[in-house]
Structure 1
Amino acid sequence: MHIGASGLNPSLTTSIQSTAEKIASGKAVNKASDNPAAIQILQQFNSQIQGESAAFRNVIDGISALQTAQGGLSQVTDSLQQLRELGIQAGNGTLNSSDRDTLQAQADQLIEGIKDSLNGSTFNDRSLLNNADDIQTQTGSEADQQQSLSSFDLLTEFEDVGLFNLDFSLDKINDTLTNIDKALDITQRVNSAFGAEQNRLGSTANTLSNSILNQSSSRSQIEDADYAELISLMTKQQLNRDVEIAMLGQANANRSQVLQLLKT
């Protein structure tokens, strides 16, 4: 180590500044010069964690969309069960025309309610009950990590099975009950699909959460500062600086003495 009379060793000053920066930031690596290899690894961790965090939010939104659709589907199923009950009542041959008109009016109201539920069950203006196109969701940090949320055009499917043209006349009750049962079969199929997709997304969310946690822990092991080690290092560096200052002071004093002797 060379110590000149002109000043302190610049490398020691730089080391002290670097150690102080690490203590202040709580990070062992603040810039590329601290540890070039570690910086590259940290950048990879950061990219992966950020990507998976965004994917995790996508998955949670997907689960919320499915839950919204299932809530609307539950309302539709309840209305279909009420329609079926009305249909069975309409099969009573002792009803007069006024009674049958009342049942028909109640059924028409339930059908309008079903349409409202299908049109109103949306998440962020997207519907899984009144939309024929599946929704793609990015569920990972890589380009090919996607899952589809199944969408169903239930208005069309219900129309196809005659749900919106129910006739509660006594001679039409068999057809009416058959059409309602077909609609109930549709809701069971759709509900099963939503349940399976929600389970799959739930599993994906758990996988992403564990991956983010593990990678964050690994990143911390590289990035986080060891305060005890840094404080010990700072103490040694400051001691070396004090020694340098003392030696520099002595060197300057000796130089002054030599100059004084030369003048005499």
Structure 2
Amino acid sequence: MTVIFNHNPLAIVSGYYLTRAYDGLERSTLRLSSGLRINSAADDPAGLAVSELMRAEIASLNQGVRNANDAISLLQTADGGMSVIDEKLIRMKELATQASTGTYTSDQRLIIDSEYQAMASEITRIANATDFNGIRLLNGHLSGATHSGSGLEPTGKLKVHFGTGNLSAEDYYYVQIGLSTASALGVGRSATGSARSISTQALAQAALDKIDAAIVSKDKIRANLGSLQARLENTVQALSLQSENLQLAQSRIADVDLATEMAEFVRSQILVNSATAMLSQANTLPQLALQLLM
């Protein structure tokens, strides 16, 4: 080996391998600290692109689950209002049956009719007052056959969006709730037809069938609410499962394998220690040349 002063080839080589080992140690430390295999685009450009698309999809699916759960709460609120209307209609049926018999005087029927009208007024009040997050549910606000979301306030039936795109078959449902006031159900003083009053025996008898029709109309609305709620609950389950599977797939791409990376960390640590020791030895070799001059 040639002894020279100006350069130290062994130190240069040792320094090169020390830098490589230190870079590997730094990379392993970063991965173990963050728990991620991909911490920058340089780590895996293609993997990063796929992982970020999956992250966006997962975030959108999770928000879709929340949207669907909000819609379920809305439907439960509407059904709760309809259940109270149900009780009022049953009471009105009972009052009409009571007024239909001939054992009551006209004054007594007027008293019965006053409660009948109070029940009808309460039905209308419940229909106008039932709301979810400021959205009126039973007053006909959501009874439209079409939906328009072009304005600041959407009109027509309610659009529940839960998907990651905008395809009708996959990404949203419509919620349509019919008008549920007393007049819409055909009962009470504001209605047209025989169920507007039970102040006479003939009116009371004629009101019985109309009240039955009102109960059927109310049941159709509740059945529609129930079917939509069941459908949304199934949707929540499907979206949750899809989100979980995507998270697993994204984890396999972006997350670090702790066992493998720990082994790489120990390897890099040993190489750094070894290269550091060899660099120290290499830096002492030029001093041997001084002994030749003495």
Whether TM exceeds 0.5 here: the answer is yes
- Partners in 2 of 1:224 and 1:237 — Cα distance? 20
Q: Deviations over 1:27-82 (max 9, x none)?
A: 22211112122111111110110111111111001111111111110110111010
Pick one of 198, 210, 231 that aligns with 2:229: 198
Partners in 2 of 1:85 and 1:108 — Cα distance?
13
Match of 1:243 in 2: 274
Alpha-carbon offset, residue 179 of structure 1: 2.4
- Give 1:149 shift: 0.8
Alpha-carbon separation, structure 1, partners of 2:50 and 2:41: 11
TM-score by length of 1: 0.92
Equivalent position to 1:61, from 70, 83, 90: 70
Tell me which residue corresponds to 2:125. Answer: 116
1:153 aligns with 2:182: no
1:26 aligns with: 35
Equivalent of 1:162 in 159, 181, 186: 186
Once superposed, what is the RMSD of the aligned Cα atoms?
1.8
Q: Secondary structure at the match of 1:142?
A: coil
Paired position in structure 2 for 1:11: 20
Q: 3-state SS of the aligned residue for 1:94?
A: coil
Q: CA–CA distance in 1 between the matches of 2:133 and 2:266?
A: 58
Instruction: Trace 1:130-145 onto structure 2 (pairs within 5 A).
Output: 130=139, 131=141, 132=143, 133-144=156-167, 145=171
Gaps of 5+ in 1: none
**Higher helix proportion, which one?**
1
How far apart in 1 are the matches of 2:58 and 2:184? Answer: 47
CA 1:227–1:123 in structure 2 vs 1: closer, same or farther (change >3 Å)? Answer: same
Question: Is 1:85 equivalent to 2:111 in the alignment?
Answer: no
Aligned identity (percent) is 25
Contact 2:14 2:275 in 1 (8 A): no
Separation of aligned partners in 2, 1:126 and 1:175? 36
Does the Cα contact within 8 Å between 1:3 and 1:244 map onto a contact in 2? no
What amino acid is aligned across from residue 229 of structure 1 in structure 2? T
**2:111 paired residue among 86, 90, 102:** 102
8 Å contact from structure 1 (residues 129, 154) kept in 2? yes
- Name the TM-score, length of structure 2 as normaliser: 0.83
